[in-house]
Amino acid sequence: MSVVTVTVLSPAEKVIYLIFYHAIFVFFTWTYWKSIFTLPQQPNQKFHLSYTDKERYENEERPEVQKQMLVDMAKKLPVYTRTGSGAVRFCDRCHLIKPDRCHHCSVCAMCVLKMDHHCPWVNNCIGFSNYKFFLQFLAYSVLYCLYIATTAFSYFIKYWRGELPSVRSKFHVLFLLFVACMFFVSLVVLFGYHCWLVSRNKTTLEAFCTPVFTSGPEKNGFNLGFIKNIQQVFGDNKKFWLIPIGSSPGDGHSFPVRSMNESQNPLLANEETWEDNDDDSRDYPEGSSSLAVETET
């Protein structure tokens, strides 16, 4: 008769395993909660057409006059990106001039600041308000799956050696290891992709569609360098990088851009602070007022 021996963890090892497990699990659930319940941020009121302007715009039948109306309104706003045809980006569903990096989400039925994508796994739109939480959720998910897979692997080895006496425990170990490894592989690929996006200061939409500035398309227009790109998502204070609390700089309506030829793109040289009142004005280079404007759906 063969004797099966099963190694039992010491109390100290059990305590260490439990501490690490629950620490990872708390951050995993915390970031998941924040990703789900942090509402997408919408453009503030100064980007919306006023009741009078909206009425004028809708009642105007001449397209060229509509275009000029939007051009005049865009001059008062810190808006520098354009559509592929060089037009001012306007949402005819929300009736607003889109801030830079803002897009309309058809699922949420609203414009979302610095929209990255709509995620069905968290049933929420990922953008400026919750992109940091989404990245942290992916990171802690990867760590959670890795921890489960590594702690279950030793029991998987015992299964192959015939050291697990219970048939039921064999199934549990195999299932747990398989699921953990499967989710780990898929999540690490997704997390790696978003790490690449953060390192380039891009959103998923910008990775597939190059942003267009007043000077033309520029795929690296928001790339400030590796460290500054990370700070654009996680903030300047490193002690908040791992904690799911809001620390992203700015208000989501305007973003710094990399150094370019200032004579070609004045937005990259102008560091003027924009106020919230409608009387603010901005000097544009010669010819900028002739930009074509069309609605973007």
Question: Catalytic amino acids?
Answer: 119
Would you state the torsion angle of the CA atoms of residues 238, 239, 244, 245, taken in this order, to the nearest 10 degrees?
A: -90
- Cα–Cα dist 232/128, whole Å: 10
Name the 3-class secondary structure at 33: helix
- 190 CB neighbour count, 10 Å cutoff: 13
In terms of Cα–Cα distance, which of 198, 43, 195 is closest to 105?
Answer: 43
In terms of Cα–Cα distance, which of 155, 137, 54, 141 is closest to 95?
Answer: 54
The CB-side HSE value for 165 (13 A sphere, CA atoms) comes to: 6
